[in-house]
Structure 1
Amino acid sequence: MLFDNLQGVLRVVIMGALAYVALIAILRSSGKRTLAKMNAFDLVVTVALGSTLATILLSKDVALAEGIAALLVLVLLQYAIAAMSVRWRWVAELAKSDARTLLLDGVIDSAACRDERVTEEELRSAVRSAGHGDLDGIAAVVIETDGRFSVIPQGQAGSRSAFPARPEKQ
């Protein structure tokens, strides 16, 4: 069915415009972090916002006020979790993972790769994608909190103060 009725199309246009304006206002007032995608938690919120917006647009069972309330709840919860994560370490540990070094000074940490479910081929691919052909020239490969790989060549490692802290051996 290509076209049901003009009223349905008009509803989507009006709801879409109003929900869009509301979402932009909410996001602007909540700050840049809301859509930063810094970790899995942030990504889930971003996807949930999109899903909620789609539901507002397409479901006749959801009033605009209800949809805006849902968007507000998601953004406020994300804001609250992010704020609490800064204050309390245990909240940060619940909401996000830490970055982890998978390769250090050209040597692959097989245990770290296994824990993070990264194959050595995926690690080598990340090094190649960063424009390097030799693991020996790499100071570190870090899997970041959002799942991206950071490849740091030896010549750019500096003091290594930005590297993730190595876990204590027990």
Structure 2
Amino acid sequence: MFETFLFDNWNDLLWIFLMSILIYPSLIVILRGFGKRTLTNVNMFDLIITIAYGNVLSSIIITHEISYTDGFTIMFIMTVLQVILSKLQMYSKTLKKLVKSKPVFLYYHGEFNEVAKNRHRLQRDDLLQVIRKKGIRSFADVTAITLEGDGTLAVMQKEDSIPDDVLEDVIWLDK
């Protein structure tokens, strides 16, 4: 059982070495070829593709049944599908609503949105932390705190001049 625990054989190590040298630069070429948008973590589907890249990359490197060409094709197809999905979102409001979540008010003009805080498992301490990181001393100095579609918290200070259009797509959860 433990005879291959530390070392199995030189052929496996050579396979891993060669596949790593071939496939890693190939992934970089694919991602560079499809643009910067492919590398962002903007929504749930971008996170899924990022995790899938890591999973596929490691499977290609360690699994002898997957050739370099097979692995390259898998990564290329995943990237093409991701690009197609992001392009389709530009033309379909329904698909965009499905893929991207709307920003939500957690705090607005002195009022906490308890429904949104509970639904997204956030506490007052989480909001305090984000305003402290912005150097703000009190909620009295804050106009709004939003949970953005990518999971980040955004803080708008009262002293900021915020045009109305910045907050027009932010929703207030009531139920």
Q: Does 1:86 align with 2:97?
A: no
Give TM-score, length-normalised by structure 1: 0.89
1:23 CA displacement = 0.6
Contact 1:100 1:164 in 2 (8 A): no
Q: Does 1:96 align with 2:76?
A: no
1:168 CA displacement = 8.5
Q: Does 1:156 align with 2:160?
A: yes
- The CA distance in 2 between the partners of 1:131 and 1:55, in whole Å, is 45
1:6-155 aligned at under 5 Å gives the runs 6-155=10-159
The AA in structure 2 aligned to 1:32 is K
Contact 1:102 1:113 in 2 (8 A): yes
Tell me the secondary structure at the aligned position of residue 166 of structure 2: coil
Contact 2:147 2:154 in 1 (8 A): yes
Q: What 5-or-longer segments of structure 1 have no aligned partner?
A: none
What fraction of aligned residue pairs are identical, expressed as a percent?
26
Give TM-score, length-normalised by structure 2: 0.87
> 1:168/1:123 Cα in 2 relative to 1: closer, same or farther (>3 Å)?
closer
Aligned residues: 170
> 1:142/1:169 Cα in 2 relative to 1: closer, same or farther (>3 Å)?
closer
- The CA distance in 1 between the partners of 2:11 and 2:170, in whole Å, is 60
> 1:164/1:20 Cα in 2 relative to 1: closer, same or farther (>3 Å)?
farther
Q: Pairwise CA RMSD of aligned residues?
A: 2.0
Higher mean Cα deviation, 95-104 or 42-51? 95-104
Q: What 5-or-longer segments of structure 2 have no aligned partner?
A: none
- The CA distance in 1 between the partners of 2:83 and 2:173, in whole Å, is 35
Contact 2:104 2:173 in 1 (8 A): no
Tell me the secondary structure at the aligned position of residue 22 of structure 1: helix
- The CA distance in 2 between the partners of 1:57 and 1:38, in whole Å, is 28
Higher mean Cα deviation, 131-140 or 117-126? 117-126
1:51 CA displacement = 0.9
The AA in structure 1 aligned to 2:54 is G
Question: Which structure is higher in RCO with an 8 Å CA cutoff and minimum separation 6?
Answer: 2
1:103-146 Cα deviation digits (max 9, x unpaired):
11232122232343322332222222332231110111111111
- The CA distance in 1 between the partners of 2:84 and 2:22, in whole Å, is 26
